[in-house]
Structure 1
Amino acid sequence: MADAIGNSFLIIVLPLYIASGKVEGDFFGFSESLITGIVLGLYGLVSSFFQPLSGRISDKLGKRKLFVLAGLFIFMIANFAYTFASNYTLLLVIRAVQGFAAALTITATLALVSEVSSTKNRGGNMGVYNAFRLVGFAIGPLGSAALVENGPYNLPFIGEASGFTMAFMLAALAALLSLILVAVFVKDPEDTKPNKERMIIRFRSQEPGRFLDPIFTLGIATLFMSMGFALLAPIELVVNERLSQGAFLFSIQFSALIVSMAILQPIIGKASDKYGRKIFIVVGLVCLIPIIVFEGLATEPWHMITARSLHGLSAAMVFAPALALAGDLAKKGQVAAQLSILTVAFGLGISFGAFLAGFSIRFGFVVPFIIAACLAAIGAILVKTQVPSSQTAEN
């Protein structure tokens, strides 16, 4: 949660920082919305590239905590480095470093949660973990918007600091707090041993009648879900103009999805332990279709707040059960590597969603939302046809 607070600060702050004129230069003549989409999306691309490697090394060494601590330390340095980012090149470098840091922490953390769980409580545990992270993501945008709007500030020993500088400094402090908490309270599971076996990541199903591996299919569903999740951030200024609102109302809309997911994920995750994972994933993806389209048709701030809240409900039905089902099906000793399929998919979805919104908004406000809704429909069909209805492995 502490780390997520710091990272989500940047989702709201970076588009405003780019638009403020503090970043100099012309990035290949790209539009401001497209540049913002690239900056936000690069984090997910770099993270997704390194996550399978990070997960595999974590499995081979049988170490989780070490990777989490290293990633949080790099996060802390990168968050503070934004205070010196005066051109697009430096901004992109820092964002890429953040993506590498995320690769170290994400797969190791989810492997920890999965390894201390069983099929009887894995959905609930994944829901609780995701809920705390999402609370952080919800608090961060609200705090960052307030900081930017109320700056500059006079700080002891430092002097005047802009709202942007304060947001970057607090993001770095949040990563430091997270690092301290993990160092003091987290231990590697005793039964997690080094694994020298060949990493198994399948794309084709081994079962007759299905052509996609179930974990890979869950990754595709997560990819499509997270693309819809990420549409608003790179078009923040366009949304604000369309709805005649400021940064604070936008932060409420952005956070509405996160708050809804945070409240409902533990409940839905626990329910999936009892009633099965697949039904929740399919229903969640189907519900996303009309909800995302409604976001693209919003003309008033309350329209977007309502739609984003319902979006969070549907996304909660997909995310925690999908992670739990992947953990159920993952081979023992290769949990981090196989769960990286879903974490990579989530990161790529955030990136592709940002790119999609930044590029396609020129064709009409509703266009990126219609595309994301169509992808959710495809995801529902794939999960329905390619994923087994019950957990078949115990780890």
Structure 2
Amino acid sequence: MQPSGRPGGRSFDLATFLLAVVSMVLFVDALVYGMIAPVVPSYAHVMGASDLEIGLIFSAYPIVQLLTLMPVGALSDRYGRKPFILLGLVTLVISTVAFAISVNVPQLILTRGLQGLAASCTMTAGLALISEGAPPDKMGGTLGIATASQGAGIMAGPLFGGSLAEVGGYNFPFLVAAALTLAILSLTVIALRGYRPQCPGRVECGRTDWGEVLRERTVFAIVLIVVIWAIGIGILEPAYPLHMSENFGATASMIGAFFTAMSIPNVLSPPFFGRLSDRIGRKMLVVVAALLFAVLFSILSMMDSFTLLLLVGTLLGLTSGMLWAPSLSLTIESISRRVGKGSDGIATGIYNSAWAIGLAGGPFIFGLLVDPIAHTHLPGLLRHRGRGRDSVHMADHGEPGLSASDAWSGPRRCAESMDHGCAVLKDL
């Protein structure tokens, strides 16, 4: 696709349409990811699932993603974005319907894993498609819109799943999500008819020189920052509800308000910061955002009022939004300079893998840092990671051994590590 940038031109309209459609694809991916939290644990318990099996249902999605993100990215560089976006959407429709009608735990695990594979295809190829179609001076703003759509899907997922389950039962939200995905698939087929890749044969531009990629120091620095940033989020979600409960007597609604205060600016701000990075440069914006995140992250435990907590939570969400689009754009540009055009797939695969590794590793690190009680709490933390209402369950029921100071030692150390990643990037 070669958008001309002429406001009235056909290619400009195609680029805008593709951005809108890919944003919808990313939204529905994230929606499906988040919607199982309020409905699946109780349904799986009715099936007789153990806590470990419920953990496996939740873990199947990110595990498959981690295994497939970079291979899918490299393959999309070689064979094009279109087949992987369509494959991902078809797989998402089938797996979501299958998830809705599953009658035992192995079926739930298998179909959830297929949803993770679908997300790898659509996320990696979709982001690569819109990044390679965007003019260099507009890439940040374009990717900001796409990442905002992902954030909106994650934020809406639990509410979507829980509300529809109350109306129509367990199966209903998944069937509605499958129908929504099918509608988006139809739009995607229409949008991709006019898509022409920048490298038509995708032979020369589709070869991934891993040695060259690994020698790119800017990419190394960004991956380090993204992994630590995601670890911080992964630690924050189980640790902070416990901290709030012990120090403020926080209710589930107060904890929900804190995480909502983080989520809203994280969803709304990426387009703005993406456009800002197009104008003033990406590297310094990434460094400033990462340092601000580290500072805010480390002072959370010092807040002595709920109002201040909400303020810091809002600023944390804002700095996360400040990181998304500029750091992703910088990764794509750096790899493209090193290995040539057509490498956007592997760039988005590396970036998303770094985020997934950090997010999955956060709860493990949290458990290790609060040892010796890690073995008691870690399975529940992993199962409920990212679900504010469920994460506070342990604190509400007075589970022994975990103090707020223990829980908060992890975030402090994570913030210190973020500073190192920023120092590496500033030196480049």
Aligned-pair distance for 1:347?
A: 2.1
Higher helix share: 2
Q: Quick check: 1:14 aligned with 2:37?
A: yes
- Contact 1:123–1:269 at 8 Å: present in 2 too? yes
> Is structure 2 residue 396 aligned with structure 1 residue 378?
no
**CA-CA distance at 1:45 after TM superposition:** 2.6
- Judging changes above 3 Å, is the alpha-carbon distance between structure 1 residues 87 and 349 closer, same or farther for their aligned structure 2 residues? farther
Q: Do the aligned partners of 2:35 and 2:160 also contact (CA within 8 Å) in 1?
A: no
**What is the Cα deviation at residue 108 of structure 1?**
0.9
Which structure 2 residues correspond to residues 210-225 of structure 1 after superposition, within 5 A?
A: 213-225=217-229
- Alpha-carbon spacing, 1:101–1:245, altered in 2? closer, same or farther (3 Å): same
Q: CA deviation at 1:175?
A: 2.1
- How much does 1:324 deviate? 0.8
Q: Deviations over 1:302-359 (max 9, x none)?
A: 6765444222111112211111111222231222123311021122223223545577
Structure-to-structure mapping, 1:1-395, within 5 angstroms = 1-3=23-25, 4-5=27-28, 7-8=30-31, 10-11=33-34, 13-14=36-37, 16-19=39-42, 21-26=45-50, 30=52, 36=55, 39-61=57-79, 63-148=80-165, 151=166, 153=167, 161-162=168-169, 164-186=170-192, 187-197=194-204, 198-202=207-211, 206=215, 213-231=217-235, 245-246=251-252, 253-293=258-298, 305-329=310-334, 330=336, 331-356=340-365, 362=377, 363-364=402-403, 367=406, 370-386=409-425
Partner of 2:385: none
Structure 2, gaps ≥5 residues long: 1-22, 378-401
Partners in 2 of 1:177 and 1:356 — Cα distance?
A: 40
- For each residue in 1:148-205, what CA deviation from the matched residue of structure 2 results, as whole angstroms up to 9, or x when unmatched? 4xx2x3xxxxxxx42x322222322332233222222244344233333541234887
Percent identity over paired residues: 22
| Corresponding letter in the other structure for 1:222 | V
Question: Which letter maps to 1:313?
Answer: L
Q: RMSD of the TM alignment (CA)?
A: 3.5
In 2: Cα distance, 1:43 partner to 1:88 partner: 14
The amino acid of 1:50's aligned partner reads T
In the other structure, the counterpart of 1:156 is none
- Given that residues 222 and 349 in structure 1 are in contact (C-alpha distance below 8 angstroms), is that contact kept between their aligned partners in structure 2? yes
Distance 1:304 1:111 in 2: 37
TM-score of the superposed pair, with normalisation by structure 1: 0.78
The residue type paired with residue 280 of structure 2 is Y
What's the counterpart of residue 392 of structure 1? none
- Specify whether residues 103 and 290 from structure 1 end up closer, same or farther in structure 2 by C-alpha distance, changes over 3 A only: same
For residues 43-95 of structure 1, the C-alpha deviation after alignment (integer angstroms, 9 at most, x for no partner) is: 2231121122111111112x212211110121122223332345543332222
Residue type matched to 1:107 in 2? T
Contact 1:292 1:369 in 2 (8 A): no
Change (3 A) 1:322 1:276: same
Structure 1 residues not aligned, in runs of 5+: 154-160, 207-211, 390-395
**Deviates further, 215-224 or 180-189:** 180-189
**Segment drifting more, 107-116 vs 128-137:** 128-137
Deviates more, 1:222-231 or 1:380-389: 380-389
Q: Secondary structure at the match of 1:121?
A: helix
Q: Is residue 147–residue 325 contact of structure 2 (8 Å, CA) maintained in 1?
A: yes
d(CA) in 2 for partners of 1:39, 1:233: 19
Residue 124 to residue 93, structure 1, CA distance change in 2 (3 Å): same
Q: TM-score, normalised by structure 2?
A: 0.72
Contact 1:261 1:312 in 2 (8 A): yes
- Structure 1 stretch 303-312 or stretch 342-351: which is displaced more? 303-312
Indicate how the Cα distance of structure 1 residues 71 and 204 shifts in structure 2: closer, same or farther if over 3 A, else same.
closer
Asked whether the equivalents of residues 293 and 366 of structure 1 are also in contact (C-alpha less than 8 Å), the reply is no
Work out the CA distance in 2 between the residues paired with 1:366 and 1:109.
42
- Residues paired across the two proteins, number: 365
Contact persistence 2:235–2:410 (CA under 8 A):
no
